[in-house]
Every structure is written in C-alpha cells, then in structure tokens.
Amino acid sequence: MPGNRITIDLPNLTGAAGGTFSVNVPVGRTIHAIGLNFSGTTPPLVGQTIRLRVNGEEVWNVKSETVDMLNVYDGGVSCSSGGTTIDRALMLWFDRLMMLGGDGAELTALGTGDATDPRPIKTILLEVDCTANVSCNAGFVIQSGPSKSGLIRKLKSYTRPVAGAGVLQVVDLPKQGLLNRLVCKAAGNYVDSLRLVVDNYEIYKRTASQDYMVKKNLQYRAPSGNSNIHIYDTTEDGRGSNALPLDPIQDWRVEATMNAADATFKIILDTMDPLRA
C-alpha cells in the first residue's frame, strides 16, 4: 500500500458560470478521491458532466447525479442532502468502497509518481461542464504515497433510448477490462427487471424487488428500492475479486424489461482497466 493518506486543496478550476471548468490534477502521488465544490444551484445537483482524461485517454464521462447516486449506493451521503445550497462536496472516488476487509479497495486508485512504472501517468485533466449559472471553482484531493498506475476505475455512460414498454436489448457495449458493475438508470420507475447474457450463458436475471432484497441482506450496498435504478454488481457481497472479464467475451447482451418509454435511458459501465492511450 502507498502509505498514509493526506488531504490537500485541488488547484483552482478555471472557467465561467454555466460553462466548462477544468484543472490539471497534480501527479506524483496516489490519488484516492477528488472532492468538488459547486455553487450557484440548489439541491439536487443535476446535469453537470464530469470528464477525466488520463494521459489523454477519457476514462470518466458521466453526469454528476450518477456519481452522487453511486456514492449513496456504496453507503455514502449525497452531496445534495443538506441545506438549500450545494454545501457538500461531490466525491469522485477512484477507490472501490465498502469492500470486505478492504479487498481490492485501493486497487483502482490513480497511482502516479513511481519511477519504476512502465506506463506512468503523466497528465490528469479534470473537466466539468456546468449547467446555467452553476460554477465549480474549488475542490480537494485525498492522496497517499507514490505507486504504479495499474488498473484504473473507468466510469462511462451510454444513452440507449427506449421506444416503449417491453424488453430493451443492448448488444453494442464495449468489451474492455473488468466489469465491476453495470448500472441501468431510467428517468422514472421504469425498469422491472434486468438480464445479462454472456456468450449465450445467462449470468444474471433479477426483478427490481429481488435485487433490492439480495443487496439489503448482503449489507454491503445501500440500494434505494426504486425501480429507476438497477445495478448488476459483481462486488455486491464485498468481494473485490469478483469482477467480470470483458476482453475474452465474444458476445454479451443486456436486456432490460421496461414498463414505459424513456428517451434518456442510460447504461453506465463501471470497470477496471489499464490505460490504453
């Protein structure tokens, strides 16, 4: 492990309200999390786009409300949970939270600063696209000592519009890295069940209520119980080694049984993968 953790200020993000804010995150130590402070809006924090580019490769591209939802699902608190303004930081975690005995929690931290790293991280660019009147000027970083880059947590969102009630089948998702979890996120309580098929073998099939009961009883996750979110989570039992390898898969299908149309239906892939840039 890279040693004791410290928390320092992130250099100020530059940008104008309602536009894109950006900052070059300093390298040289292991980055476990970044906290971002927003102003100019009231809860909930919705619609801000978070992008992270490491050595030029886009590894995060996801909405603020998705990041916030995953933090709550992992047992954390929402940045929109207090007051009439956004007075809590939106946490961008590169560690995987709530792992049994710390199993693989730091495996996906952004390791930098190790002189022996064959694929060193040299640049980290964080960009935040803000909605009208919203600003993101400040933040902080949780760090520890230098380490190699290794596996990185990648978080990317894909929109797949749903025309109406029925089964949405998605067959064109990327097949790279190790899948921690797959998130189906609907605009309302539209996701009745989720099914995953890998190389013609069914690996997962649960209704919304079945999934809620499984996760609540395992006690490592905090599902909402609402059917607007359904998460296939390989680490739901707290075991960080249970990721699904995607690279050797020839064919995989995601089938979401929907009870209504949803033009903004999203699938978010939360994976572990080395840098490919």
**Per-residue pLDDT tens for 10-59?**
999 999 999 999 999 999 999 999 999 999 988 889 999 999 999 999 99
Q: Is the pLDDT of residue 164 over 60?
A: yes
Q: What percent of the chain has pLDDT over 70?
A: 99
pTM, entire model:
0.94
Residues 58 and 187 in one domain: no
d(CA 83, CA 271): 33
Let me know if residue 62 belongs to a domain.
Answer: yes
Residues 218 and 252 in one domain: yes
d(CA 32, CA 28): 13
pLDDT score recorded for residue 98: 87
**Mean pLDDT of the residues in the chain:** 94
Residues 10 and 146 in one domain: yes
Report DSSP letters for 224-270, one per residue. Answer: ---TTEEEEETTTTS-TT-PEE-TT-S-EEEEEEESS-BTT-EEEEE
d(CA 111, CA 164): 44
Q: Measure CA 104 to chain center.
A: 16
Domain harbouring 66, CATH code: 2.60.120.730
Q: Evaluate whether 236 touches 244 at the Cβ level (below 8 Å).
A: no
Q: Is the pLDDT of residue 203 over 80?
A: yes
pLDDT score recorded for residue 2: 63
What domain range is 116 assigned to?
6-150
Let me know if residue 1 belongs to a domain.
Answer: no
Q: pLDDT by residue (tens digit) across 64-96?
A: 999 999 999 999 989 988 777 777 899 999 999
d(CA 78, CA 15): 25
pLDDT score recorded for residue 85: 77
Residues 159 and 123 in one domain: no
Torsion, Cα of 58, 121, 105, 73 (10° steps): -20
pLDDT score recorded for residue 103: 66
Max alpha carbon distance in the chain (Å)?
A: 54
Residues 142 and 186 in one domain: no
Residues 140 and 162 in one domain: no
Residues 173 and 125 in one domain: no
